[in-house]
Amino acid sequence: MNILKEIEDSFIKPPKNELLMRVSNFKKLLESKNIDYALIFYNVNLFYFTNSIQRGCLLITDDDAKPYYFVQKHIDRAKLETYSDLIEVIEIKKISEVFSYLKELGLMDKKRVGLELGDISASFFINLKKSLKDQEIVDITYDILRLRSIKSEFELSQMREASKMSDKIFSIVPSFLKEGMTELELAGCIQAESRKLGNQEIIRMRGFNNELTNPHVLSGISGAIPSAGDVPLSGYGPSSAIAQGASLKKIKREEPIIVDYAGSQNGYINDETRVFVIGKLPKELERAYWISREIIEFVETHVKEGDNGKDVYKEILKIVEKYDLLDHFMGYKKGRVRFVAHGIGLVLNEFPIIADSRDEELKENMVFSIEPKFVFPQKGAVGIEVDFIVKKDRLERLSSFPLDIVSV
């Protein structure tokens, strides 16, 4: 495959050591769980270990052997994208050929096999299970997510670049924002600007039925319209078929305009939210906005490595309760979700999750997006979303755009 020079130069390849380290950490994980080998199919995980998301599967064993990247389509691209000296890239016509290789490698006899059961489909699993015969299958979905939750310096550098994109977008939203335009129209202006900046068109969220829009633009009452997603703010969307995100509602003066936006670099994303308003927000919403800000400031000055997400969540709820806004926090009543922050990286819903029910220790170089948001029926939503890197004795902000309400 002959690649244009300008494209080859713009594609970023992680350092070779980076991929070596990821694979070696995964091998340690396999060993610690007595898993003999794993077959990886989910494109995000393929990318994490190989820097390539071509169609096929990756075999990683618990011993010193190189990973095998079996590729159906397209082999030339896979070879170009990964490091062929670290990873054996092998062309296959059908997935079933993988089992012949497994047999040849002595990996078909009473082994424990790791599979991404949270990602592959049921029917694919049923077929795999037949081919793997009497081998024991172990779910590795969450193990890989945990591995991915701690970012390397290379990954943090990608996410810092992604953050520059959201900073830039927030800074130019006021130049588009006009009374009477639809939410979708504002979303379109932001999308046009995003493409100029090179933002990827696909922002990933893992999990069945999970979909998203980028940007997520909600104005006034839209911010208070609930829907299916495990998110604090949903919006009308353009129809019942999409049921989230920007709609044909026209933007008015003196209502909160939520812009939730993910920048990207090389697959890595950030995820921040700011509130815009034409004129001034109603008092009740402005007050809630300042409570969001108080929460962000509390987190920024108190949270660090070693803290438990559950405790952080409890402390945040205390602030919300102090202002008597529990029914409005992260959705309204039945629409409330029980987390306040989620990890980011290659997808929008990684670990850690800072939530009611999750006993999760924050570790150095985890990155999370914290989004205290308040919903007021008929009026809309306000809140802030900010990305933080967990450091030994503090948090480090990923982006630099100010946290104030942007009044136009």
Total number of residues that touch a second copy (CB under 8 A): 95
Q: Give the H/E segment covering residue 259.
A: strand 257-261
Contact region for a second copy (CB under 8 A) — 24-32, 226-234, 255-263, 278-286?
226-234
Q: Does 130 help bind a second copy (rule: CB under 8 A)?
A: no
95/362 with CB nearer a second copy:
95
Give how far Cα 399 sits from Cα of 159, 259, 268, 300, 370, Å. Answer: 9, 15, 14, 13, 13
Instruction: Report the residue from 94, 130, 134, 240 that binds a second copy according to the rule CB under 8 A.
Output: 240
The least CB distance from residue 358 to a second copy, in Å, is 17
Q: Does 126 help bind a second copy (rule: CB under 8 A)?
A: yes
Restricting to residues 18-47, which ones interact with a second copy according to CB under 8 A?
41-43, 47
Restricting to residues 367-396, which ones interact with a second copy according to CB under 8 A?
377-378
Q: Does 237 help bind a second copy (rule: CB under 8 A)?
A: yes
The least CB distance from residue 128 to a second copy, in Å, is 8
Contact region for a second copy (CB under 8 A) — 242-250, 284-292, 298-306, 309-317?
242-250
How many other β-carbons are positioned within 10 Å of the β-carbon of residue 313? 21
Burial of residue 110 (CB within 10 Å: 0-12, 13-18, 19+) is exposed
The CA distance from 25 to 264, in Å, is: 25
224 close to 376: Cβ distance less than 8 angstroms: yes
The least CB distance from residue 119 to a second copy, in Å, is 6
106/126 with CB nearer a second copy:
126
- 126 three-class SS: helix
Restricting to residues 48-107, which ones interact with a second copy according to CB under 8 A?
51-55, 73-77, 81
Instruction: Report the residue from 15, 174, 198, 402 that binds a second copy according to the rule CB under 8 A.
Output: 198
The least CB distance from residue 202 to a second copy, in Å, is 5
267/386 with CB nearer a second copy:
267
Q: Does 184 help bind a second copy (rule: CB under 8 A)?
A: yes
The CA distance from 284 to 277, in Å, is: 14
CA dihedral 169, 171, 173, 174 (to 10 degrees): -170
Give how far Cα 52 sits from Cα of 5, 61, 335, 407, Å. Answer: 19, 19, 38, 43
Q: Does 246 help bind a second copy (rule: CB under 8 A)?
A: yes
Restricting to residues 255-294, which ones interact with a second copy according to CB under 8 A?
264-268
Instruction: Report the residue from 24, 63, 96, 124 that binds a second copy according to the rule CB under 8 A.
Output: 124
- Position 233, amino acid: L
What's phi and psi for 115, nearest 5 deg? -135, 155
Restricting to residues 339-358, which ones interact with a second copy according to CB under 8 A?
346
- In Å, how far from its chain's centre is CA 317? 24
